[in-house]
Chain A
Amino acid sequence: MPNAEPLLQVSDLRVHFPLQAGLLGRNAGTVKAVDGVAFHIDRGETLGLVGESGCGKSTTGLAMLRMSPLTDGRIHFDGEDITHPDKPALKRLRRRMQMVYQDPFGALNPRMKVLDIVGEPLRVHRLTQGRAAYREKVMGLLEKVGLKAEMADRYPHEFSGGQRQRIGIARALAADPELIICDEPVSALDVSIQAQVINLLEDLQKELGLTYLFIAHDLAVVRHLCHRIVVMYLGRVVEVADRETLYDNPQHPYTQALLGAIPIANPDPEVQQHFNPSLSGEVPSPIDPPPGCPFHPRCPHATELCRREAPRALEIEDRHSVACHLHDPDRAQAMAGNL
């Protein structure tokens, strides 16, 4: 449901990490983890953030929570500029935005009871008064994520991976957030458990009107859950589109290759010949990204222009933008001339 104003608006986000070498911390280059990313998240939607590992999708997610240092760019959350929040603003932000982690084993302190793990945001933001209310709230949260209320007195090691992820989700829900950043929340789980957790996330969204930023590399999961999808490559956004558009009509060569790499669970040779993981080569290093379009060394359509100049993001149809010279009408002519 596109509202007038997006819940989160990111423009020209850059996160660069300086590389230090030797004793004296000599600057040995910069890792451009995120290099000019722009997107928005509407209220109540699930935005998928996909790309190969190392493309900067997790760093982007962390930047939303202001957990990674920003080199440049602006982030607006609910109309408020959160690029450089002061301490109280940051604390407010970290109540309204919560995170679910990939590793269900590391994300919960093994020395704490579930009661205190799930209730930690309540304590941090002083959301309940008194021991009884606190306990009741935590138990309610546990039931909401499909666990039993009496599990509150157990320790994390007594739970399975899927249950632990539910505990992590309950913790994320505790402070009544508006946006939940899910950083690969199911990729560490068995396939059967993945489905349960995804359904839970969907149900919670319907019930509580949550907005998700869903970071993942599993395109099947993303297709199931996300309304809109941002495809990232080497710290940049290459394509943004609604789910149907992206899966049926991908325009960027990288997106096409990514979707072509989804294995087809059908042994029929006629079906199998459409399975075409065509991409060769490796992801270039973000320390020394190729000039021009970052994808050009692996792109089957690369031209001289791609090697020289970075493409701009263009809206080729409603709610579908691509950063590729092939789809830039001004550039297409130049490319034709070059050829």
Chain B
Amino acid sequence: MNASVEPAAVTATPARPAKRRKPLPKPLAFCARLCRERPLGAVGALICLLLLFTGIFADLIAPQGYNAINPIDRLKAPSAEYWFGTDQLGRDIFARVVHGARLSVIVAFAATTLSIVISALLGILSGYFGGRLDMFIQRLVDGWMCFPDLILLIVAVAVLGPGTWQIIVILGLLFGISGSRIVRGAVLSARQNVYVHAAQSMGASSTRILWHHILPNVMAPLIVLYTTRLAAVILAESGLSFLGLGIPPPSPSWGGMLSLDGRSYMFQAPWLAIIPGIALTVVVFGINMFGDALRDMLDPRMRGGSGRYLARVKRAIGV
């Protein structure tokens, strides 16, 4: 209907039924619920936002860059000039932490996105189509999960060499494959719905069923998986960098800062280790809190792992 000509439109438009009142757009309402029901989760969300902000605007926050060497100001304690102190080359720790946030954000989001895509693809293929394909994929996943994560990571780094994109690919693959189990489980349960049967019986294509009936059921576990993986990826990247297998210096990876400079000057300049350690702790805590809150709000079935496990054991043994 065109309402460009005012008078005509007023007379021509039939009385429309009153639009139903909508209290808040969905994302805003969700934020309000988050703050009300899960204040700690809201704090976590704030920390995540802060991390994102720092990562994106690192160049504006610390314009001198993470590698500006200033030998005169070596190992300075935190002061008004150097908020977080300096390291043995006189580099500003604040700048390095800020740029480290950018690195963490890049690695975390890229690797997590990759892992979620892998999880979703494998899980949906395996869970929805089932049969031999499921058997095949699941045995491969079994084989992959037989190896301890760290061993796989070290082998992969040894083959691919250290570097940002290598870490992203390796972590994405690692978490993606183990996460596919969770997606598969969600798909298996979604597939049991009578409305999926109904869609099949009316001749709907697999694509249509997956898109309209399965994926919405898998979305909540996927979002939850994403947030929990985000923290795990940041930790794993720091761990690898700490071991010298991650992103090589002089890139300001928090894990690398902890290990290389932090350990060497731990007694002379403790802030070298403390500052990146705190950054890491706060960020992982924040992401985890936010992830937990999201899980509780989006996917009540996943709440309280041990309790549910106990209940299942009790049911199994018939107590």
Contacts and interface: CB of A to CB of B under 8 A. Distances in A.
Given A106-B193, A107-B194, A109-B193, A99 B201 contact: yes
Nearest to B195: A109
B201 A120 contact: no
B204 to A, nearest CB: 5
A124 B213 contact: no
B197 A108 contact: no
B199 interface: yes
B212 interface: yes
A8 to B, nearest CB: 15
Interface in B91-137: none
Interface of B: 17, 193-195, 197-205, 208, 212-213, 216-217
**In which size bucket is the chain A interface?**
20 to 34
Contacts of B199: 120, 124
Contacts of A91: 203
B203 A101 contact: no
Nearest to A94: B203
Contact of A121 (B17, B195, B197, B202): B202
Given A109-B212, A109-B213, A98 B195 contact: no
A171 B198 contact: yes
B198 A107 contact: yes
Which has the most chain A C-beta neighbours within 10 Å: B203, B204, B205, B213? B203
Given A109-B213, A111-B216, A101 B194 contact: yes
Contact of A98 (B194, B202, B216): B202
22 contacts: A67-B197, A93-B203, A94-B201, A94-B203, A95-B203, A98-B202, A99-B202, A101-B194, A103-B194, A106-B195, A107-B194, A107-B195, A108-B195, A109-B193, A120-B212, A123-B208, A124-B199, A124-B202, A124-B205, A124-B208, A171-B198, A171-B202
A65 interface: yes
Contacts of A112: 212
From B193, B202, B212, residue with most partner A Cβ within 10 Å:
B202
Interface in A82-141: 90-91, 93-95, 98-99, 101, 103, 106-109, 111-112, 117, 120-121, 123-125
A67 B201 contact: yes
Contacts of B203: 90-91, 93-95, 121, 124-125
